[in-house]
Each structure stands twice: as C-alpha cells, then as structure tokens.
Chains A and B, each alone.
Chain A
C-alpha cells in the first residue's frame, strides 16, 4: 500500500516515452527503459537551479541549526547560567505560543530579508523540541569531566567543542538528520519570502509543476525543446520524475535515520 503509488511514479518516470500510455495506475515496473525525462529536467535551468538552492539551504541551514542549538543547549544546562529560570520560561512560551503568520512576515520584511535565501535558512534555526532533547542529552554528561577541564582554565566554548560535542555525536547526528530533512522538505516559507523564481527550492518548483499543474513554469523555459524527443514526452511522466528527484535525498539518508533512531537516542521525544 505504501510502496505501490511510489513505485508506479518511478516506473512512469523511467518508461520509454513511446510506451508511457501502457503504464497504468498499478504498474510497478517501467515499460521499456529511458532516462529522457531526467535528461530533460536536468537541462532545464530553473529545475537545476532549484536543486542547487535546496542543497544550499539544507547544508547551510542544518550546520547553523546544529551550531546554534548545541550552543544554547549547553548554556541552558549550566547551573551557573544567569537568569536561567527566565530563559526556561521563554522557551516554553516559544513552544506554546504560535506567532501570527502576518506578524512574522512583516518582521522578516522589515529586517530586509525579503527575497533572500536567509529568510528561509533562518526559519526554525532552533526547533524548541530538539533543543529540549539535546538539553536532556547534555545533562547526562558527567559534570566531573567538565569541571576538570574548567579547572585547567578551558573556556565554555572549548569545553563545548572538545568535551560535550564529541560525547554527543549520536544525538547530533539524529538531530542533524531531522533538521536536514526538514530543510529539504520546506516550501512554504520559501513561497512567501522568495519572489525570484531562480531562488526557489526544489519543493516549490515541484508544488507549481505537480500540485498546481502549472506546466508553463517548467515547459515554458525553452531548454526543453532542444530535445527531439520532447514532442512526445508526457507531462505525467515529467511530473513523476520531478517527484522522484525530490524523494531521492530523503531515501539516501533514510537508512541512517533508521539506524540512529533505532539506537533510541530520541526515546520518548520528537513530535511532528
């Protein structure tokens, strides 16, 4: 039940264009074999650009997530942190109060991030649920290890970098994977903050092309017709190929997710 609809799209995307009409809704193997759909997509500048944008947003975003979240989790788990109670209340407030969409939009606009990839990258820099999971993990690290380093004069940043982070690799890997999948899948903030189509991430192109069925946005950009086969290509098969490309990176990291998740790092944690 889970696999058939996905395999069907894969089959459709790989089928020989001349035999696409033989692919029915329950077909799971391609009819003939051809990569022409993918060649056409890759030759499209808008599509290629969107893949690069998505990779950029995902890589920079995830690195920033891990850095900022672990710095905050470290500070928040230190007994010596000033105003600790105030910060903990602040976190709960952030967790349960959802700001109005319009208000967020106006703030992002006011600080000049409109049509900037940073508006998308910075969204959810700190996921409060993940922050709490990391805090619980950091609390498990024996305080004696940290105190010993501090007696030797190590700064907070050094302790975090040389002691806490190396001991937290499984937790960081898990959160990194979850943050990474989140960035790769994000489309909504991109749709409200980005105005230049050349900055769109893949998910947004996919939404226009497949969900809104706006074929002109992709087909319109001439590159497509440089192929002789283009005339006989089916939109359905091209749409299927776009979906496959969007799923592929998730499939690649999925075994890692299963592996780390199975280790029970997130026990009793993550909602969403």
Chain B
C-alpha cells in the first residue's frame, strides 16, 4: 500500500493551525518587522525608508561599543571561564560513593536552575548586602571591612559569574554525569590490572571518554555568545554599575521600549540577530562535523 501511505491527509493541517497562529504572531510577523531598522518608524502614517542611517548611528555611538564590549566580556566569563567547572563538579560528584549523600548533593544543586532570575537576584542581593549579608559577615570574621559588591564596578561582573555558577553548576554537570556513567567499567578494570594509578586512569580513560561531550557542549554554547543572559543582567544591574554590565539585550530593551526609539533599537536587534545567526549556524556545522550531532 505505498501509494495509499503517500496520500496526503489535509485534515492534519487543522491540528497545526494553533501552533502556526502562535508562530505567526510571536515569530514570523515580528521577523518581518526587521525592515523597521531601515525606516524611520512612525506609529501613524507611512514610515520613510532611510537606508543604513540607524546602523551608522549605532556604530558611531560610544554607548553601543561599550555595550558590545560588555557583552563579549560577560559571555567570555560565562562560557569560557565557566566551562571547566561543571566537568570538575561531575568528576568530584562521581567519586561520592554514598548514594544518599550523592542524591542530596544532586537535588540541592539542580534546584537553582528552576528559580527565576528575579528570585535569584533577590537571594543574592540579600546575601551580598553590606549590612546584613552572609558574605560580609564572613568578611567580618576575618577582620575585613564590609564591601558592597552589587554597586561596585570592579566586582559586579564577578557577581554575575558567581551567581551564574550558583545557578548552573549542578544542572550543567548532568550531561557529564551521564557521560561518566556510560564509560565501560571494563576499561578501568583492565587499567587496574596494568597497575595504573588514579591519575593515570583520569588522564588516559576518563578525560578522553568525556571529550566528545565537552566539545559538543562548548560548541553549542558558542552559538549563543551574544546572549550573555538578559534576565540575569536585567535583574542584577543598577545605576552604579550599568556602564560595565549593560549588554546588547538590555540595551535593545532600554532604547526600544523605554526610550521608544523603535527603529534604532531594531537596528541593534538586527545586528545581534545576524551575528548570532552566523554563530549558531557555525556551531551547528561544527558540532555536526566533530560529533555527528547538530542543533536540530
């Protein structure tokens, strides 16, 4: 019955209608709205075409260049510096033999992944508070003066890094835990027979076996390099530190929805979108080439 199997069933389209309607309103039509970047958007009447005017303004603006630098620095910290931490955490957790203790550590460290950044910001603002926070109480014990990290330009990016680690260390280690669990025990057994020590087993068995997972995770994260974490920055920034933490997405929000410079903001979005697209496609191709598995 191959002919029958290939016959099209038009009633299936009905099931797709709600999803298509959603994509149309929240994705497809707004993507079409990118043309605004080349116009002077007017709410009433026709918006005149102005070519690359907004892009020229964008690149001439020192604020935008600072935002770009901030985005790259913060992304570098959260993608490259953070990268080894979940691996180390998974390796350490893997050595915990008591299964009850291990379950406890896992369930507590996965939890922050499910909290909103509003909640996490609230927790961290309290924990870093110069008057009553836990960190400054610790500093007091060592005789150090209290420090206000949230309003300190030299500290705030590390606050972002630390809170990202707090939120993601456990969750991001899951993929490595799975990879560790799939390493065949016979490899370790034969290494034992050959008299290999713990360090040698790590160097010649564990790390090579984890390598494909590491490469996949790293490449896929590179695809989102320009994101840098809107929700985190949005909830942790304040007027004292905005100059060092303002990233592309918070900038787009501020000039677009608060200052209502619709076309200018869309130009910034489009810039980010195009570079982001190139990065994602490169990540997809790279991952496919190296591991045979892409983003989709």
A positions within 8 Å CB-CB of B: 1-6, 8-9, 12, 23-26, 67-69, 71-72, 74-76, 78-82, 87, 90-108, 111, 122-126, 131-132, 155-157, 160, 181, 184-188, 192, 203, 206-207, 210-211, 236, 239-240, 242-243, 246-247, 250-251, 254, 257-258, 267, 271
B277 lies within 8 A of A68 (CB): no
Q: With A1-B166, A2-B111, A78-B12 in contact, is A243–B33 under 8 Å at CB?
A: no
Contacts of A82 in B (CB 8 A): 8-10, 12-13
List, in ascending order, chain A residues with CB within 8 A of B25's CB. 107-108, 111, 122
**Partner pick for A26 among B5, B7, B122, B137, CB 8 A cutoff:** B137
The 8 Å CB contact of B26, one of A67, A99, A240, is A99
**Size range of the interface on B?**
35 or more
Which residues of chain B in 18-35 are interfacial with respect to chain A, using CB atoms and an 8 Å cutoff?
A: 18-19, 22-23, 25-34
Whether A25 contacts B134 by the Cβ 8 Å rule is yes
Distance in angstroms from B75 CB to nearest chain A CB is 15
- Whether the pair B108, A4 counts as a contact (CB closer than 8 A) is no
11 A-B residue pairings within 8 Å (CB atoms): A24-B137, A25-B126, A25-B136, A72-B16, A80-B5, A80-B8, A102-B256, A102-B269, A108-B25, A132-B296, A271-B220
Q: Which residue of A lies closest to B167 (CB)?
A: A2
Report yes or no: B23 in contact with A257, Cβ–Cβ below 8 A: no
CB distance from A190 to the nearest CB of B (A): 11
Instruction: Tell me the nearest residue of chain A to B216, going by C-beta.
Output: A268
CB-CB under 8 A from B118, the residues of chain A are 185, 187, 203, 206-207, 210-211, 246
Evaluate whether A99 and B27 lie within 8 angstroms (CB atoms) in the complex, with A2-B112, A76-B16, A156-B9 already known: yes
Which residue of chain A has the shortest Cβ distance to B109 in the bound complex? Answer: A2
Q: Is the CB of B123 within 8 A of A9?
A: yes
Within residues 218 to 258 of chain B, which ones have a CB less than 8 A from any CB in chain A? 220, 230-231, 234-235, 249, 252-253, 256-257
A132–B116 CA distance with the chains assembled, in angstroms: 24
Complex contacts, A203 vs chain B, CB 8 Å: 116, 118-119
Contact B266 A250 (CB under 8 A): no
Closest-CB distance, B138 to chain A (whole angstroms): 7
Known: A78-B12, A243-B119. A25 touches B127 (CB 8 A): yes
Q: Please state if A156 and B277 are interface contacts (CB–CB under 8 Å).
A: no
Contact with B126, one of A104, A108, A239 (Cβ below 8 angstroms): A239
On B, residues with C-beta under 8 Å from A are: 5-16, 18-19, 22-23, 25-34, 36-37, 107-112, 114-116, 118-119, 121-127, 129, 132-138, 166, 170, 178, 220, 230-231, 234-235, 249, 252-253, 256-257, 262, 265-266, 269-270, 272-273, 276-277, 280-281, 295-296
Cα distance A247–B112 when bound, in Å? 10
Contact between A104 and B30 (Cβ–Cβ < 8 Å)? yes
Q: Which residues of A contact B121 (CB under 8 A)?
A: 210-211
Query: Which A residue's beta carbon lies closest to that of B170?
Result: A2
Partner of B262, one of A79, A106, A185, A207: A106
Contacts of A271 in B (CB 8 A): 220
Question: Which residues of A have CB within 8 Å of B110?
Answer: 258
Residues in A whose Cβ lies below 8 Å from that of B123: 5-6, 9, 243
A72-B16, A76-B16, A99-B31 as given contacts; A254 in contact with B134, CB under 8 Å: no
Given contacts A9-B126, A97-B277, contact A103 B34 (CB under 8 A): yes
Q: Which residues of A contact B273 (CB under 8 A)?
A: 97-98, 100
Query: Whole-angstrom distance between the alpha carbons of A12 and B131 in the complex?
Result: 14
6 closest pairs, A vs B, by CB?
A103-B33, A25-B134, A99-B30, A185-B116, A100-B269, A72-B19
B134 contacts A96, C-beta separation under 8 Å: no
CA distance A190 to B176 in the complex (A): 36
